[in-house]
Amino acid sequence: MTPSQPLVVHITGARPNFPKAAPVLAALEGYPVEQLLVHTGQHYDERMSEVFFRQLGLPEPDVNLGVGSGAHGAQTAATMVGLEELFTGRRPDLVVVYGDVNSTVAAALVASKMGIAVAHVEAGLRSFDRTMPEEINRVLTDRISDLLLVTSVDAAAHLGREGADPDTIHFVGNPMIDTLLRHVGSLDVEGVAAQVGVDTSRPYVVATLHRPGNVDDPADVAELVDSVHAVADQVRVVIPLHPRGRQRLADAGFLDHDDLVVVDPLGYVEFLSLVKGSAAVVTDSGGVQEETTVMGVPCLTLRPNTERPVTITHGTNRLVTRQTLPEAVREVLAAGRQDTWPVPPLWDGQAGPRIAAVLARHVGAG
């Protein structure tokens, strides 16, 4: 690298960021720019981050801030302090942030206040639910970003209604799908199912549940236990259980069902292998709605809203409540997996190159 090359810094902090960043980093290798990969350490254990770097072919982070877990304010503040020091010592030409985690908004705030350009990958997504911390992160990040890289037409429309400059909005597709399509042909359904103790001769459902609206309030937890147990009465349920809320669920009797298989969080490839072989997925995650949409796996999203409505209009997703979940699973099992399904525009495996082209042009290297 020569000193004259513009410096692009990528900020990752939690496991949803990694499959979004991987194709962008790879595509930017084709341009005369220097790249720096920063891991804030928001997800810091082996299962939550390091295994993702290995499986996705991401380079080892150049910087790991090691901020760890904590309350939103403390985590965001620690990230901001670390990044301000980093950007002061090594001033980037462009900071690229991904998704909607605390690291995303922290990096955007620091860079913006220092007069450094910010690019937001996955801009414009809206649940219109301000009780979700991620929604606050999305809105704030978009308002102070210089490049708004959107995954869907509805996201671009949201930004337009909010008054974003049309010249800053770029419809590039979904880089997470680039990563999925790169790996989907080599997923090992049988091997991973055997590893977690699931018999693939019987249908099974995969569940991922960690949102505050499902696992924080004791009354919600009690309803969730009854709902998921009613699903497990019909079909085996495999749940890689997020550390967040695990003890609360266990105390409420969540684990006390013979057809509920609880495993530790899985690596990227292992999780997608399990999803690929499933009859359906029950989730409150954002990214899983997208992955199931492309894989043709019926997805039941246990939330009152979604910031990814394109997965409903152009995919396999539908919203359910804890009360309607058991019947929805019954319907999905009766209908079976479909042979064909719609997929959103530009979810074609080429978002990384499109994003790289926009970033390179912005720093004068395109």
Per-residue pLDDT, 45: 54
| Residue ranges with strand state E in 175-298 | 204-208, 236-240, 260-263, 280-283
Residue listed under structure tokens 């337009």: 160
Q: What is residue 59's DSSP assignment?
A: P
Tell me the CA distances in angstroms from 168 to 118, 120, 124, 225, one per residue in order.
11, 10, 12, 45
Contact 204, 236 (CB under 8 A): yes
Residue-wise pLDDT tens digits, 291-313 = 999 999 999 999 999 999 999 99
42's tokens: 């928001």
- Percentages (nearest 5) of helix, strand, coil residues in the chain: 45, 15, 40
Bridge partner list, 94 = 8, 117
pLDDT band at 43 (very low <50, low <70, confident <90, very high): low
Per-residue pLDDT, 56: 87
For residues 228 and 251, give the distance between their C-alpha atoms in angstroms, rounded to a whole number: 15
Which region among 103-107, 241-245, 344-348 has the lowest average model confidence (pLDDT)? 241-245
Domain ranges of the chain: 7-174+347-362, 185-335
Catalytic residue list: 210
pTM reported for the whole predicted model: 0.94
Name which of 41, 14, 21 is nearest 265 in CA terms: 14
Say if domain 185-335 classifies as CATH 3.40.50.2000.
Answer: yes
For residues 152 and 172, give the distance between their C-alpha atoms in angstroms, rounded to a whole number: 8
pLDDT band at 1 (very low <50, low <70, confident <90, very high): very low
pLDDT > 90: percent of the chain: 84
Q: What is the mean pLDDT of residues 98-127?
A: 97
Mean pLDDT of the chain: 93
Residue-wise pLDDT tens digits, 202-232 = 999 999 998 888 988 999 999 999 999 999 9
pLDDT band at 52 (very low <50, low <70, confident <90, very high): confident
Contact 233, 256 (CB under 8 A): no
Do the domains at 7-174+347-362 and 185-335 have one common CATH topology? yes
Sign of CA dihedral 85, 146, 53, 74: positive
Q: Which strands sit side by side in the sheet containing 34-39, from one edge to the other?
A: 63-64, 34-39, 7-12, 94-98, 117-121, 147-150, 169-171
Residue-wise pLDDT tens digits, 5-37 = 999 999 998 888 999 999 999 999 999 999 999
Does residue 42 register a pLDDT over 80?
no
pLDDT band at 104 (very low <50, low <70, confident <90, very high): very high
Angle (CA) 78-133-24 rounded to 5° is 70
Per-residue pLDDT, 58: 85
Identify which has the larger pLDDT, 88 or 250: 88
Q: What is the mean pLDDT of residues 102-107?
A: 96
Q: What is residue 184's DSSP assignment?
A: G
Sign of CA dihedral 190, 191, 194, 196: negative
Q: 7-174+347-362: CATH homologous superfamily?
A: Glycogen Phosphorylase B; (3.40.50.2000)
Residue-wise pLDDT tens digits, 320-366 = 999 999 999 999 999 999 999 999 999 999 999 999 999 999 999 98
Q: What is the mean pLDDT of residues 281-295?
A: 97
Does residue 3 register a pLDDT over 70?
no
One-letter amino acid identity for 334? Answer: A
Residue-wise pLDDT tens digits, 257-281 = 999 999 988 999 999 999 999 999 9
* Cβ atoms < 10 Å from Cβ of 12: 32
Name which of 354, 257, 117 is nearest 366 in CA terms: 354
Q: What is the mean pLDDT of residues 70-93?
A: 94
* Residues 6+ away with beta carbon under 8 Å from 56: 18, 19, 22, 179, 268
Does residue 47 register a pLDDT over 70?
no
